[in-house]
Amino acid sequence: MPTILIIGASRGIGLEAVKASLAAGYTVRALARSADDIALNHRQLNRICGDARDEALIVQALEGATAVIQALGVPITATTVLQRTTLFSEASRVLVGSMRTTGVRRLVAVTGVETGDSRGSAGFLHARVLFPLILQRIYSDKNAQERIIQASGLDWTIARPGVLTNGPATGRYQVLTEANSLRGGFISRCDVADFLVRQLADDTNIGRCPLLIG
C-alpha cells in the first residue's frame, strides 16, 4: 500500500487520521513534535519527531510518500488568543515547497468553518462570539494557510470541519461544496479523519474546500 505522511499526527484529527489510515492499510509516517507520545503499536506506523516548519525534515519525510494529510492544530491559550499565530502559514509554505521538490502532489489539509468563503456560515454563537473573542487570530493564519495551498499548483483538498466533538466515527456526515448550502454544525474528529483518508483514493474534491458537518 502507499505511504502517507500525516503532519500534526499526535493528537486530535491528526491522531484519528493516523488510526484511520492504518485501518485502511496505508503505511503511515506520523510527524509531530510529540510523535513519541502516539500510543499505537503497528508495523506500518513510523513516528517522526520534529517541527512541521523544518524544511529538511519535511523533505526527508516526503521521500517515497504518495500523499500528505496536514492536520495542524494549536491549543487555545492566552498566547494563541491574544497574539498572532503563524504556525499554519509557515508550515504550509514549507510543505508546499517541499512537495514541489520531491514531486509529491496530493495534499489533503484541514482548516475549519469560518475560513475563506465559509465566513459567517457557522451560526451566531461561533461567528459573533467565539470567532471575534477567541479564534480570530488563529483563523487569520488559517486563511493565509488556505491561500498558500490554493496557489500551490498541487492536487489539493481543504476540509473545513464544523464544531468538533470527541464522538465516534459514524460515517454519516455531510460534505457541503456549494456556496448556498454552507451552514454550521457539529462533527466528530473521527468523522473528519474518515473524510481525509477517503480523499487519498478519491479525486472528486481536488481543488475544493468542502465544509463538513454531521
CATH code, domain with 36: 3.40.50.720
Domain hosting residue 113, numbered range: 3-213
Q: How many residues does the chain have?
A: 214
Q: What is the average pLDDT score of the chain?
A: 90
Q: What angle do CA 109, 156, 159 make, to 5 degrees?
A: 40
Contacts with 122 (C-beta within 8 Å, 6 or more apart), sequence order: 113, 114, 131, 162, 163, 184
Residue 27: pLDDT above 70?
yes
Tell me the per-residue pLDDT of 175-199, one tens digit each, with 9 for 90 and over. 998 866 777 789 999 999 999 999 9
pTM: 0.92
- Are 112 and 160 in contact by the 8 Å Cβ rule? The answer is yes
Say what the pLDDT of residue 127 is. 57
Say what the pLDDT of residue 179 is. 66
Residue 77: pLDDT above 80?
no
Say what the pLDDT of residue 176 is. 93
Share of the chain above pLDDT 90, in %: 74
Say what the pLDDT of residue 168 is. 95
Say what the pLDDT of residue 138 is. 82
Q: What angle do CA 190, 194, 199 make, to 5 degrees?
A: 150
Tell me the per-residue pLDDT of 90-144, one tens digit each, with 9 for 90 and over. 999 999 999 999 999 999 999 998 787 776 665 555 555 555 555 667 888 999 9
Q: What are phi and psi of 157, to 5 degrees?
A: -135, 135
Dihedral angle sign, alpha carbons of residues 61, 115, 140, 127: negative
Count of domains in the chain? Answer: 1
- What is the C-alpha to C-alpha distance for residues 79 and 164, in angstroms, rounded to an integer? 21
51 CB neighbour count, 10 Å cutoff: 15
